[in-house]
Amino acid sequence: SFIVFGAIPLIPYFLRPPDLLSFQLSCAATVCALVALGLLRWRATALDLVRSVAETLAVGGACALVAFAVGWLVGG
């Protein structure tokens, strides 16, 4: 699941040049992937739907922000 869901935000960069729109599409793809992962978590655990999706979005979003910040600091 890490490879499948982790590859989804990269799809815009495979299909388009690296510009602002590609970045925005990648952010949207990240949200979609995290929502899908939250739905799978809800289905597997039978926890509350909103809680499953919200927690997955929060944790995944925080990880994505940290990864972006580190990449920005290292790569410029």
As a whole number of angstroms, the distance between CA 18 and CA 12 comes to 8
> Over 9-73, what HEC string results?
HHHHHHHCCCCHHHHHHHHHHHHHHHHHHHHHHHHHHCCCHHHHHHHHHHHHHHHHHHHHHHHHH
- Convert the pLDDT of each residue in 21-35 to its tens digit: 999 999 999 999 999
1, two tokens = 């699941």
- Convert the pLDDT of each residue in 42-75 to its tens digit: 999 999 999 999 999 999 999 999 999 999 999 8
